[in-house]
Amino acid sequence: MSQGFEYWIGSRYVRSRSNNSFVSLISAISMLGIAIAVMVLIVVMSVVNGFERELKDRLLAMTAHASIEGVDGKLPASADLIDLALENSRVSAAAPYVDGQALLVFEAALSGAELRGIDPPLENAVSGIGGVMQAGSLRELAPGDFNVVLGVELAEAMQVGVGDKVTVTLAQGIVTPAGVVPRTKRFTVSGIFRVGMYEFDRRLAFINIRDAQKLYRMGTSITGVRLAVTEIYEAAAIVREVALANGEPVLVGDWTRRHVNFFRSIQITKSILFVILMMVIAVAAFNIVSTLVMVVKDKQSDIAILRTMGARPISILKIFVTQGSIVGITGTVAGVGLGVLLALNLETIIGFLESALGIKFLAADVYFISDLPSELQYGDVVLVAVIALVLALISTIYPAWVAAKTAPAEALRYD
């Protein structure tokens, strides 16, 4: 008997019609189950990867890779420390900053905010904040002009736009014969930025570092120096090198330490989702077991006839392994194709649904990120496809072994 007949018969069982339409139906259902499970897992993994990427990019845009601060909240003139930091070959940029809290007032609206004094050219090299400006420019933060750049959510909450004047009120007051009077200063809104993270867009405002030093009466002192490094996952070691080279007691921090819980929670969530959805794939793959068991029962007489014609038990086993493998491979390939297509176009699809339905899937005031990102990593796709194929292949073994053990006389007794 020809050695290729096992594949031919197995494939015929998958796509059989007329009297065997039931076999084709349950095979199609098994394929569909595997395809949907694989597709969902690829899309979910891509969304988690997208969240991790967006969170990292947007956090680093505002917090820099690392920072050095004074023990008492102040550092002396920054030029020497910046030069020292730039001597390190793994530091690509450094910028001084002054941080403080303030109350912003515009007509009847008021809001608390974090005021950050920056040197615009140096800051743009560290964080790239100039690339997220929606209106105006960082260059307009000239010393002595007392201009301010607001986050888009903060500007909308206060109903201000470029050119409006807001009053900045500080908690530190001026002692007068009438008592302590809060210090205030009028600033002109010269720009609006949007990072896409509510935490920054709602609570952060930039002013020139010289204006901040005057406002907070810091003289030539600064709060600290922010660093951009060439290897972001080595930020902790690099900032320690700079601090040790400085020789003075300072506080150091890096992006992994400040936001470690965010990234750790994402990794844990990704692992849990992977395990849960892999179990869904396992359930879909093991549907092949029930499919093949029913096929074996339905094909008892066919198996007996093949055995009497000289087919060996290994050939019968190959027939049903072939059928199950075709179901698993077809379902996996279809799921991978649909999953990749959906993951690559997810942001467009979600945008269309939000516009069509008039809803927002991720509210900016609830979630850190207001857009649903997606980043397809082909390593995840390969891993999911391989596991799905292995589970599908394993699922074929028991029913095929049962078919191979079928005794021709017993199968034909009542035929």
Model confidence at 330, in pLDDT bands (50, 70, 90)? confident
Please state the rounded mean pLDDT for residues 106-116: 87
What's the alpha-carbon Rg for the chain, to the nearest Å? 33
- Model pTM score: 0.64
Lowest mean pLDDT among 174-178, 185-189, 210-214, 397-401: 174-178
Residue owning tokens 């903060």: 154
Give which of 403, 396, 389, 391 is closest to 314, Cα–Cα: 403
Structure confidence by residue, pLDDT tens digits, 36-78:
888 988 988 888 888 777 777 777 767 778 888 888 878 887 6
Contacts of 74 (CB under 8 A, 6+ apart): 218, 221, 222, 223
Longest Cα separation, the chain: 114
**pLDDT above 70 as % of the chain:** 76
Residue 1 pLDDT exceeds 50: no
Alpha helix (H) ranges present in 345-377? 346-357
Spans of all domains in the chain: 5-57+262-411, 72-248
Q: Using the predicted structure, report yes or no on whether residue 206 has a pLDDT greater than 90.
A: yes
State how far the Cα of 394 lies from the Cα of 315, in Å rounded to an integer. 18
Residue bearing the bigger pLDDT, 407 or 117? 117
* CA atoms 254, 259, 265, 270: torsion sign: negative
Burial of 108 (0-12, 13-18, 19+ CB in 10 A): exposed
pLDDT of residue 175: 54
CA distance 147 to 186: 9
User: Higher model confidence: residue 144 or residue 314?
Assistant: 144
Cα dist. 84→9, 80, 245, 246, 247 in Å? 76, 6, 8, 7, 11
Q: Is the pLDDT of residue 343 over 60?
A: yes
The stretches of 113-190 forming alpha helices (DSSP H) are 120-127, 152-158
State the pLDDT at residue 305: 62
Q: Sign of torsion, CA 380 381 383 387?
A: positive
pLDDT grade for 149, boundaries at 50, 70 and 90:
very high
> What average pLDDT does this structure show over 292-320?
66
More confident residue, 327 or 90: 90
CA 253, distance to chain mean position in Å, is 23
Instruction: Return all residues near 341 (Cβ < 8 A) that are at least 6 apart.
Output: none
- Mean pLDDT calculated for residue range 80-98: 87
Q: How far is residue 331's CA from residue 16's CA, in Å, rounded to a whole number?
A: 17
Span 257-263, mean pLDDT?
70
**Contact between residue 298 and residue 1 where contact means Cβ atoms under 8 Å apart:** no
Helix 21-63 vs helix 120-127: angle between axes, to the nearest 10 degrees?
150
The confidence score (pLDDT) of residue 18 equals 47
The encoded tokens of residue 309 equal 């014609």
Mean pLDDT of 118-146: 84
Check residues 367 and 214 and name the one with the higher pLDDT. Answer: 214
The whole-number pLDDT of residue 178 equals 52
Q: What percentage of the chain carries pLDDT values higher than 90?
A: 6
The answer to whether 263 and 48 have CB atoms below 8 angstroms apart is: no
Residue 338 is predicted with a pLDDT of 92
Other Cβ atoms within 10 Å of 85 Cβ, number: 27
Residue 293 confidence (pLDDT):
72
Least confident of 50-59, 67-76, 222-231, 268-277: 50-59
Whether the Cβ atoms of residue 117 and residue 138 lie closer than 8 Å to each other: no
**Is the pLDDT score of 83 beyond 70?**
yes
Q: Is the pLDDT of residue 19 over 80?
A: no
Q: What DSSP element (H or E) covers 344?
A: helix 313-344
Q: Is the pLDDT of residue 2 over 50?
A: no
Q: Which is higher by pLDDT, 292 or 47?
A: 47
Region of residue 234 (left: phi > 0; alpha: psi -120 to 50; beta: else): alpha
